[in-house]
Chains A and B, each alone.
Chain A
């Protein structure tokens, strides 16, 4: 099977401006060389803590940010090369679901209009035909058709996220990037939305990039995972393999930090000391070395290269 999405060496730097004339005086490397590919019908998860660059990576893939370097190919088409009308057309194939269902829907538009907009914008359908498609999609995500006449604030968080998902799927995209789609929801609602995403993936043949900080959630939905730390992809593996035996010390600590659901097994956890460094002035060498329990002399000096300990697996650490 060929990959639907291929991300190669993706970089996104934000300029640091200072002074009266807003001159560029430096760059924050928010995403620094991220590579992965996702096969059609699969889910790839990007995990990491706040500020690791996972959200920026997702948005850069969709060209909501202009990439600084690297390439993104969707079904073989280089997205970075697209401009203007070509890019706008390509957006039909790639959609995004956002974290906060309270902020991602225009409060002054009725739900029906919100769902219709993608169809109108891309000239797919209008009028009665569009209305039928909206109703069908509402049903697909588990909402009654008459909800279309209401405003977003009349819905609960879970229902709003269903609306946001419906809107993303209106023009039959190939790729959906879901940025923390369940983080803002109550625990008992999260599973409903995850199930919906899984069902829709099967039914519509979607491919997901799932961005999350929650390792419990990621484990339940993804086929492969990329762990990010300070803009770098430190490890990439099949989901099962990663949870069984994380290779990178950061992945190991991250997994270990997740509270266990069995009180009888309060485990001895690896507790990382210190905080995530400021991305504007990352430490030299391996960016993780100041917090790494296994740091060696070499980690302070040189950036670890990407290694492939087994086919398809990637780890960026001097231990391997």
Chain B
């Protein structure tokens, strides 16, 4: 683990990505300390341009854009982590089962994944939220479910290649039970691509949340999220462009950081990209 972080810091991509991700996380965790105003408080200064009083200006209700952005980071990080967690754990379980047992189990799981995959992810999330009702919890579940097929496929492919390794046959010939084979021998050897997938998936989850909130199906007003801020800025974009620019830049930087981190992690964990010893 120590060595992993040492290598990550040596890698330029990983270093920049890690710094960006840490910044977002710090902002999210310490939001009350960082924010200069109450994000929900409507002041008398409507559509105020950025300046001394309001760092990034105010929106059409006179709320401080900077503070809303800071609290919005909370939503993004929270949604990103929990939704990715749902997708990752679901996908890991399904992928292990499909890859290890094969046959009917594999067929049923993978055909189901094909169906899930066939829908555009936003559309699928929309449908799930429409059924469950629009609130943050349901949004997270929807985003998580949408991520499952990607994880299932990654894990299953990796399990298939690990399963073909002789050490798995060797373990079976010793008389080890299936459960132990999966947990002790298959799982540790599929972790690397799984972790890479998880890191990369965080950014997609954040993006999907922003899109859903933009469409009014994510977090409900007046609570801020980057997507809903962007959505609300539409009406006043000509008058107060900063209300649109701030969340856009935040989304871009956050996504970029998570992706850079993902690339850095992949560089370290993927032995195929590593120099031969």
Residues A103 and B167 in contact, CB atoms below 8 Å apart? yes
8 A Cβ contacts from B234-254 to A: none
The answer for the CA separation of A122 and B174 in the assembled complex, in Å, is 9
Given known A-B contacts A103-B165, A107-B189, A164 and B170 have beta carbons under 8 A apart: yes
Mark interface residues in A276-306 (1 if CB within 8 Å of B CB, else 0).
0000000000000000000000000000000
Nearest chain B CB to A95 CB, angstrom units = 6
Please give me the residue from chain A that is nearest to B169 by CB atom. Answer: A64
Q: In whole angstroms, what is the CA distance A106 to B176 when docked? A: 14
Interface residue B10 (Cβ < 8 Å from any Cβ of A): no
| Chain B CB within 8 A of A39 CB | no
Shortest beta-carbon distance from A148 to chain B in Å: 17
A121 x B172 contact (CB < 8 A): no
A223 interface residue per 8 A CB criterion: no
How many interface residues does B have (CB within 8 Å)? 17
Are A62 and B166 interface neighbours, CB within 8 A?
A: no
Q: Are B175 and A103 in contact (CB under 8 A)?
A: no
Let me know if A100 and B180 touch, CB within 8 A: no
CB-based contact B176/A121 at 8 Å: yes
As a 0/1 sequence over residues 105 to 122 of chain A, the CB contacts with chain B under 8 angstroms (1 = contact) are 111110000000110011
A156 interface contact, C-beta 8 A: no
Number of A-B residue pairs with CB-CB distance less than 8 Å in the complex they form? 61
Q: Is the CB of A117 within 8 A of B176?
A: yes
Contacting B at CB under 8 A, from A55-70, are 59, 62, 64
Residue of A nearest to B277 (CB): A153
Kindly state the interface size class of chain A when it binds its partner: 20 to 34
Q: Collect the chain B residues with CB atoms within 8 Å of residue A313's CB.
A: none
Q: A88 contacts the other chain (Cβ, under 8 Å)?
A: yes
Contact bitstring A161-192, B, C-beta under 8 A = 1, else 0: 00010010001000000000000000000000
CA distance A134 to B180 in the complex (A): 20
| Inter-chain contacts of B176 with A (CB < 8 A) | 117, 121
Collect the chain B residues with CB atoms within 8 Å of residue A107's CB: 167, 189
From residue 108 to 143 of chain A, which have CB atoms closer than 8 A to chain B? 108-109, 117-118, 121-122
The reply to whether A64 and B174 form a contact with Cβ atoms under 8 Å apart is no
CA distance in complex: A90, B173 (Å): 10
Contacts of A94 in B (CB 8 A): 173
Chain B binding site: helix, strand, loop or mixed by DSSP? Answer: helix
A106:B167 contact, CB within 8 angstroms: yes
Bound Cα distance from A105 to B166, whole angstroms: 8
Q: Which residues of B contact A89 (CB under 8 A)?
A: 175
Q: For B272, what are the chain A residues with a Cβ–Cβ distance below 8 Å?
A: none
Tell me if B185 counts as interface (CB < 8 A to partner A): yes
Contact between chains at B174 and A118 (CB < 8 Å): yes
Instruction: Tell me the complex Cα distance, A62–B173, Å.
Output: 7
Whether A64 contacts B172 by the Cβ 8 Å rule is yes
Q: Chain A residues with Cβ under 8 A from B222's Cβ?
A: none
Give chain A nearest CB distance to B56 CB in angstroms: 48
A59, A87, A92, A106: the one contacting B171 at CB < 8 Å is A106
**A98 and B175 contacting across the interface, CB-CB below 8 Å:** no
Evaluate contact between A106 and B185: CB separation under 8 angstroms: yes
Residue B177 CB within 8 A of the other chain:
yes
Say yes or no for B188: interface residue by CB 8 A criterion.
yes
Closest to B191 in A: A108
Interface residues of B in 165-208 (CB under 8 A from A): 165-167, 169-177, 180, 184-185, 188-189
Q: Find chain A residues with CB under 8 A from B172 CB.
A: 64
Q: Tell me the bound Cα distance from A167 to B174 in angstroms.
A: 9
B residues less than 8 Å from A87 (CB atoms): 175
Distance (whole angstroms) from the CB of B106 to the closest CB of chain A: 11
Shortest Cβ distance from B173 into A: residue:
A96
Interface contact B170-A96, CB-CB below 8 Å = yes
Among candidates A64, A88, A104, A121, residue contacting B167 with C-beta atoms closer than 8 Å: A104
Query: What are 22 sample pairs from A and B whose C-beta atoms fall under 8 A apart?
Result: A59-B169, A62-B173, A90-B175, A91-B174, A94-B173, A95-B173, A95-B174, A96-B170, A98-B166, A100-B166, A104-B166, A104-B167, A105-B170, A106-B167, A106-B171, A106-B188, A108-B189, A117-B174, A117-B176, A121-B176, A122-B175, A164-B170
Q: A residues engaging B (CB < 8 A)?
A: 59, 62, 64, 87-92, 94-96, 98-100, 103-109, 117-118, 121-122, 164, 167, 171
Q: Which residue numbers of B lie inside 8 Å of A, CB to CB?
A: 165-167, 169-177, 180, 184-185, 188-189
